[in-house]
A and B are shown apart, each in its own frame.
Chain A
Amino acid sequence: MRLLLLFLVVLAGACGRTQDVAQAPEAAGEHRSNLAELTSGPYDRIVSLTPNMTEMVAALGAGARLVGRTPFCTYPPEIADVPVVSGGVEPDVEALLRLAPSLIVAQKGIEARLPLPELRRAGIQVYYSKVETADDVMRTLRELGQLTGQTQRAAELTTGIAAQLEQVRVAAGSTGGMRVLMIHGHRPLIGAGPGSWGDELIRLAGYQNALGEGVAPYATLDAEWVVQLGAQVLVDTSAAYEEGDPDVFWSFLTRQGSSAPKLVYWGDELVLRPGPRVGDAVNMLRTRIEAIRQQGREP
C-alpha cells in the first residue's frame, strides 16, 4: 500500500493540479481526458498503467482483456495473473510493445512519459484521464465503458456510486462539519490538503478538512502545525506501515487532553485509490468517524 501512496503522490505532482481544476464540474470533463482523440472501441487487449484504471476496467467487466498492469495494481484479486509490465511512473516501453496491446489506459500525467507517436504507429492507442474527484471517477468509468463496449455496466456503476454518495450526503446533513485531518506518513508528516484525494473523501463524507485553503495537496507538516489545526478527528492512513506504535507517535497530540483529536487508524488501500470503490470508501470513512464520535473510541 505504501507503494501505492508514493505512486499517487508522484502522480498528483505530475498532474500539476490546481485548486480551480480540482473543483471543476463534470461538465468540463472533455478537458480532463483525451477520449475525443481516440477511435471508438471496443478494444480487446488493454494495458493499465495505474491501479485505479485497472480497478475501473475490472469493475466494468473487462478484466479478462487486461494483458498488462503495474505492480501497484493489486485489486481485484483476479488480476493477480496479469503480467506486470511497468513500474507505473516510469513505463517500460519495450515491455509494452512486446505485449502488443490495442489500448493503454493511464491517469493523466503518465502519458508524458510515453512515446505517443511511436505507439500510435504501432497501432496502440493511449487513453488518459485526470481522476482526482468522485465526478472524475464516474466520468472515467463512462469513458472506459465506451472504449470497452461496456456502456451499460458503466451506467450501472456510476448510478450506484452516485446513490451511495447521496446516501452519505443525506446522512451527513444533520451532523454538521467536524474538522478531520488525514495523515499519509509520519516521517515526514504528510497531510491531505485541499485538492488531494483524501480531501475529496473527507468532504464527501460530510466533514471539513482541517487543512484549509492555501495548503499544498500533499503538505509536509510539523508536529506543532498538526496541534494548531485543532482537528477533532485524525485519520492516520500510514499507521499500518510506519514503524512503531502509532499511539506512541501521536502521544504529543493525545497528551493535549480534551482538545486532542480522536485517532482513526485506517491503512486500507481503499482510502488511497481514486477508483470505483469511492462510494465504499466514503461510506466506511463516515462509519468509522461516526463510531468514534459517538463512542469516544473505535469499536
Chain B
Amino acid sequence: MRTNKGAWWVGLVLAALLLVVGWVYLALGSTGFLNPLSALLGSDGAGTQVLVELRLKRGLMALGVGASLALSGAAFQALLRNALADPFIVGVSGGAAVGGTLAMLPCATLLAAGTGAAHAAVVFGGSFLGALAATVLLFGMSWVRGMVATNHLLLMGVVFNFFASAVVMFLKSLLVGHRLQEVLFWLMGTLASEAVPWVLVVLVSVIALLGTLVLSKEGQRVDALAVGEEFAHGSGVDPERLKRRLFFVAALLVAGAVALSGFVGFVGLVVPHMLRLVVGASHKKLFPLCALGGALFLLGSDLASRLVSPWLGTQLPVGVLTSLIGGPLFIVMLARAQRREVVL
C-alpha cells in the first residue's frame, strides 16, 4: 500500500531534481558556463542576453510542453482506460498537425507579413485551432445517446490520426525548400525558440499550470472513473461530466504543446507509467507528479540534446531524443512490471 507520505517524498525528489537540472540547463550551453544568478542579476551583459533570450525561453518551453504532455497522457490513460493511450492517440494531435502544416503553406504565411515572430504566431494559431477543431469533431462523433463512448473516441481518434497523417503528407508534397524543412522539423518535435515570441511560451506554461490544478482537483473522481463508470456512479461521481472535463482539459494541453513544439514523443506515455509504478494509481497524486516529471524529463532531454549537438556536428531534435530514451525505457518498465506481476 503506497502512502501519501511516499508521494510527497517523490514530489520533493522530483522538485529538487528539477531545480538541479534547471540550474545546469541555465548554466551550461554551447557558449560555455554561465553563472545563472549573476547573469540574471544583470552583472554579465552578453551572458544575461544569452541566459534570458536563449536558455531561459527554451527552458520554459521545455517545462510547459513536458508538463502538458505528461499530464495529458495520464488523463487520456484514465479516460480511455488504456495503458497505451498517449497525448497523440485521440486525434487532437492530428488536427494540430494539419492546422500547423496548413499555416506553413505560402498563402497562410501572407498573414504573417512583418516579422518572423508573427509567422511563429500564425503557425501556433493554426495548429491550436486545428487541435480544437479536431477536439470538437471527435467529441461530437463519440457523443452517443448523451454519453461519451470512450471506445468510439479511441477508435475514431486513431482513424482520424491516419486521415490527418495523409492530409499532412499531401500538404508536404506541395511544399518545397525551407518550408518543407520547417514542417519536417516541427513534426519531429523541436524546442528551437529563436523565432518563438515570449507570449506563446508563457501561454503554454499557463495552460500547463491550469491543467495541473484542474486535473489534480479531479484526481479522486478520476480514480473512481478509472475503476469503471458504474463504480463512479456508485461513488457519487457524474462520469459523463468528468469524462467531458478530462477530455477537454487534456485536449487543450495537447493543443498548446503540439502547437508550440510539434510532436515530442513518449513523454506522455513513459512519465505517467513510471510514476504510477512508484506512487500507485491515485490520480490526485499522479497528476501533479506527472506535471513535475514531464517537465523534468523534457528539460533533461533538451539539456542532453543541446550538449551533445556540437559533438554530433548537427542539432539533435529533442523529439528524436525523447523517443530514443522513451522507447527502451518503456520496454524496460514493461518487463519489470511483468516480473513483479504489476499491470501498467
Say if A and B assemble together: yes
Footprint of B on A, CB under 8 Å?
A: 2-6, 185-190, 193, 214-216, 219-225, 227-228, 238, 241-245, 248-249, 252, 255-257, 259
The reply to whether B315 and A222 form a contact with Cβ atoms under 8 Å apart is yes
Q: Does B194 count as interface, using CB distance less than 8 angstroms?
A: yes
Given A186-B116, A241-B178: A225 and B310 interface contact (C-beta under 8 Å):
yes
For B46, the closest partner residue in chain A by CB is: A256
Contact in complex: A249, B181 (CB < 8 Å): no
Of listed B50, B113, B195, residue having the most chain A CB within 10 A: B195
Q: Is the interface of A mostly helix, strand, loop or mixed?
A: mixed
What are the interface flags for B291-312 relative to A under an 8 Å C-beta threshold, 1 for contact and 0 otherwise?
0000000000000001001111
Report yes or no: A222 in contact with B30, Cβ–Cβ below 8 A: yes
Give Cα A183–Cα B179 distance, bound, in whole angstroms.
15
A252 and B115 form a contact (CB under 8 A): no
What are 30 A-B interface contacts by the 8 Å CB criterion?
Answer: A5-B178, A185-B181, A186-B194, A186-B195, A187-B178, A187-B182, A187-B185, A187-B192, A188-B182, A189-B194, A215-B313, A215-B314, A219-B315, A220-B185, A220-B314, A220-B317, A221-B315, A222-B54, A224-B30, A224-B54, A227-B50, A227-B54, A228-B29, A228-B31, A238-B178, A241-B178, A243-B116, A244-B117, A244-B118, A249-B116
* Chain A hits for B306, CB < 8 A: 222, 224
Residue among B29, B190, B314 with max Cβ neighbours from chain A (10 Å): B314
What CA separation (Å) do A236 and B109 show in the bound complex?
20
Question: For residue A220, which residues in chain B have a CB less than 8 angstroms away from its CB?
Answer: 185, 314-315, 317
**Centre residue among B54, B193, B194, B311 by max chain A CB count within 10 A:** B194
Measured in the bound complex, the distance between the Cα atoms of B177 and A5 in whole Å is 6
**Contact call A244/B114, Cβ cutoff below 8 A:** yes
A-B contact count (CB 8 A): 124
CB distance from A106 to the nearest CB of B (A): 19
Q: Report chain B residues within 8 Å CB of A193.
A: 313-314
Residues of B within 8 A of A255 (CB): 49, 53
Note all chain B residues with C-beta closer than 8 A to A249.
116, 194-195
Q: Interface size class for chain B? A: 35 or more
Most buried by A among B119, B180, B193: B119
Say whether B45 faces chain A, with CB atoms less than 8 Å apart.
Answer: yes
A187-B178, A193-B313, A255-B53 known, 20 other contacts, Cβ within 8 Å: A2-B178, A3-B176, A6-B180, A186-B195, A193-B314, A215-B313, A216-B312, A216-B313, A219-B314, A221-B314, A222-B192, A222-B194, A223-B193, A224-B54, A243-B112, A244-B117, A245-B116, A249-B195, A257-B46, A259-B46
Contact among A6, A227, A243 with B176 in the assembled complex (CB-CB below 8 Å): A6
Tell me the minimal C-beta distance from A207 to chain B in angstroms.
20
Given contacts A225-B30, A242-B116, whether A252 and B310 have CB atoms under 8 Å apart is no
User: B283 in the interface, Cβ–Cβ < 8 Å?
Assistant: no
Which residues of B in the span 184-233 have a Cβ within 8 Å of any Cβ on A? 185, 190, 192-195
- Nearest opposing residue in chain A for B193, CB measure: A223
* B285 at the binding interface (Cβ < 8 Å): no
**A259–B50 Cα gap in the complex (Å)?**
13
Q: Is the CB of A190 within 8 A of B181?
A: yes
Question: With the chains together, A210 CA to B263 CA distance in Å?
Answer: 32
Complex CA–CA separation, A216 to B116 (angstroms): 26
The answer to whether A244 and B181 have CB atoms under 8 Å apart is no
Q: How far is the CB of B71 from chain A (nearest CB, A)?
A: 27
Distance (Å) between the CB of B34 and the closest chain A CB? 10
Which residues from chain B contact A186 at a C-beta distance below 8 Å? 116, 178, 194-195
Chain B residues whose CB sits within 8 angstroms of the CB of A4 once the complex forms: 177
Shortest distance from the beta carbon of B155 to any chain A beta carbon, whole Å: 35
B146 at interface, CB cutoff 8 A = no
Q: A257 to chain B: closest CB distance in Å?
A: 7
The answer to whether residues A225 and B182 also contact, given A188-B192, A243-B109 and a CB cut-off of 8 A, is no
Instruction: List, in ascending order, chain A residues with CB within 8 A of B116's CB.
Output: 186-187, 242-245, 248-249
A186 to B177, CA, bound (A): 12
